[in-house]
Structure 1
Amino acid sequence: MKIDLTGKTAVVTGSTEGIGRAIALGLARAGATVVVNGRKQDKVDAAVAGLKQEAPGAEVKGLAADLGTADGVAAFVAALPACDILVNNVGIFNPQDFFEVPDEEWSRFFEVNVMSGVRLSRAYAQGMAERGWGRVVFISSESGLNIPVEMVHYGMTKTAQLAVARGLARRLAGTGVTVNSVLPGPTLSEGVAEMLKDEVAKSGRPLEEVAADFVKEHRSSSIIQRAASVEEVANMVVYVCSKEASATTGAALRVDGGVINTI
């Protein structure tokens, strides 16, 4: 299968590193014009330059904005009024005991992880429907189904994304616009590397080994028994964004390594 997204403009939020950057690279290599996003201009500029090197000839642009706020989303949309593909990837996570998470943190997680995608989808999806083609993808998580005891507030936002994506898919029925969720499991992104850095330093073992041990201990139902790579997650997202995925909508597609213990 050859995925060709030439002529399509793709927005990938939170794409200066990690899963978002890998998705941006995959879409760029498939021919899409990719808009990279992050909060800081210098990181956006560095990501754009790096992606252009890794995908020679690709058209990659950058647009810095804090999408965890209504004003940030409004500024982003004003600078880019339309797109064909929207990947709602931006998100935050932080292990914290339920009894220690204040109201403000619940609100912050909801604004960044959920409302960013709600606002951007509201801004872009109607135009996609009017043009008769579009792709909206929410990067959820297996944590949306297996709520992690150490991050209940995070799991709540990932469940909410599943609800929004399913409902929006039904709202856009028959328009040629598909809306799906992708659910990664433990993935070896920069964020996970940061979370495990103390153990890596203490043990002197490679990050991949430490991450595999983390998966075995905290996600023992994993079938692959390791963390996925960002590229493995991106491969699923690129397919979902393709013309070939036209009959896949309203779905929650798992790239979780088998962590979710159900058929």
Structure 2
Amino acid sequence: MDLGLRGKRALVTGASKGIGRATAEVLAGEGCGLVLAARGRETLEALAASLRAAHPGLPVDIHVCDLSRTAEQDALCAAWPDVDILVNNAGANPPGTLDAIDDATWRAAWELKVFGFINVTRGLHARMAARGRGVIVNIIGAAGERMNAGYIVGSTGNAALMAFSRALGAAAPDRGIRVVGINPGLVATDRAQMLVRRWAEAEFGDPERWAELPQVRALPFGRMAEAREVGELAAFLASDRAGYISGTVVTIDGGAVNRHG
């Protein structure tokens, strides 16, 4: 299916690996120009070179930044004011219980995963509204639906971003903009491996026993999602094929969030 993204341009944050990288690769395959944003220059440059080689003539730029810093969030928006699509993906909240996570850790995590999304959205939403078009895709996380006291920073922050996406996405069409969210469950990335190992350490005292975790043993279809599957959903939601979808959050977890026990 041709998603009609050829000639458009997307800004993808957290683009250097995992879901962000997969999303960039899918968008490039659809002919969508890219701005790749993350903290690591070498990984961004390597990805950009790979995409340019695979898609000659495709405009691919990088923007090295720390999106936990307000000044760098503002600078990113100012540098790329004309993008058609924003994919907010940067950030990863740490696992841990309320007693284990101190104030500094909460604030540091949310500066990137919560306020980073909000501030970059604010900056580019205003610019999209001035043009009367644009799409914002927030890649959030299913812990905002299935609350987990052992991942309380992530569950709470993700729930906030779900509400943010729904509230803004309900009003944004009045200005020609769509806002949608994606809630991936466990995705086969380095990040997921780190999480399940920490959960196994907390549950069994041994990170190598992660495969014994109930949430791993109960995975639908016997596997995690692939990053590319999330990227393909992001590309579809960003396209005119999803032109009447706004103010909603789509879960991609094989149905795991609605399993019980």
Indicate the SS of the match to 1:42: helix
The one-letter amino acid of 1:240's match is: L
RMSD: 2.4
Q: Is the 8 A contact 1:215 1:222 kept in 2?
A: no
1:226 maps to which residue?
A: 223
1:237 maps to which residue?
A: 234
Indicate the SS of the match to 1:46: helix
Partners of 1:83 and 1:49 in 2: how far apart?
A: 20
1:105 maps to which residue?
A: 105
The one-letter amino acid of 1:18's match is: G
Deviation at 1:105, TM superposition (A): 0.8
Partners of 2:11 and 2:77 in 1: how far apart?
A: 11
Deviation at 1:56, TM superposition (A): 4.2
Partners of 1:170 and 1:221 in 2: how far apart?
A: 35
Alignment CA distance shift 1:197-1:145 (3 Å): closer
Q: Which of the residues 226, 247, 252 maps onto 1:250?
A: 247
Alignment CA distance shift 1:55-1:255 (3 Å): farther
Deviation at 1:146, TM superposition (A): 0.8
Comparing 151-160 with 39-48, greater Cα deviation is found at 39-48
Deviation at 1:195, TM superposition (A): 4.7
Q: Is the 8 A contact 1:28 1:59 kept in 2?
A: no
Q: Which runs of 5 or more structure 1 residues have no equivalent in the other structure?
A: 199-209
Indicate the SS of the match to 2:186: coil
Alignment CA distance shift 1:71-1:42 (3 Å): same
Q: Is the 8 A contact 1:7 1:33 kept in 2?
A: yes
The one-letter amino acid of 1:258's match is: G
Partners of 1:154 and 1:67 in 2: how far apart?
A: 17
Partners of 1:215 and 1:173 in 2: how far apart?
A: 45
Q: What whole-Å deviation, never above 9, does each CA across 1:79-130 have from its counterpart, x for those lacking one?
A: 2223110001011132223211000111111111111111111111122223
1:20 maps to which residue?
A: 20
The one-letter amino acid of 2:148's match is: P
Give the aligned length. Answer: 251
Q: Is the 8 A contact 2:94 2:109 kept in 1?
A: no
2:84 maps to which residue?
A: 84
Partners of 1:182 and 1:27 in 2: how far apart?
A: 16
Partners of 2:23 and 2:163 in 1: how far apart?
A: 22
Comparing 120-129 with 11-20, greater Cα deviation is found at 120-129
Alignment CA distance shift 1:172-1:134 (3 Å): same
Partners of 2:239 and 2:141 in 1: how far apart?
A: 21
List structure 1 segments (4+ residues) > 6 angstroms apart after TM superposition.
none
1:140 maps to which residue?
A: 140
Partners of 1:103 and 1:115 in 2: how far apart?
A: 16
The one-letter amino acid of 2:242's match is: A
1:153 aligns with 2:116: no
What percent identity do the matched residue pairs reach? 28
Deviation at 1:44, TM superposition (A): 1.6
Deviation at 1:216, TM superposition (A): 6.3
Q: Is the 8 A contact 2:135 2:178 kept in 1?
A: yes
Indicate the SS of the match to 1:92: coil
Partners of 2:56 and 2:196 in 1: how far apart?
A: 33
Partners of 1:100 and 1:161 in 2: how far apart?
A: 23
Indicate the SS of the match to 1:182: strand
Q: Which runs of 5 or more structure 2 residues have no equivalent in the other structure?
A: 199-206
The one-letter amino acid of 2:18's match is: G
Alignment CA distance shift 1:13-1:215 (3 Å): farther
The one-letter amino acid of 1:187's match is: V
Indicate the SS of the match to 1:98: coil
Q: What whole-Å deviation, never above 9, does each CA across 1:62-89 have from its counterpart, x for those lacking one?
A: 1000011101112212322231100010
Partners of 1:197 and 1:214 in 2: how far apart?
A: 9
Deviation at 1:61, TM superposition (A): 1.0
The one-letter amino acid of 1:181's match is: G
How do residues 195-206 of structure 1 correspond to structure 2 at under 5 angstroms?
195=195
Deviation at 1:189, TM superposition (A): 1.2
Deviation at 1:16, TM superposition (A): 0.3
Partners of 1:29 and 1:163 in 2: how far apart?
A: 31
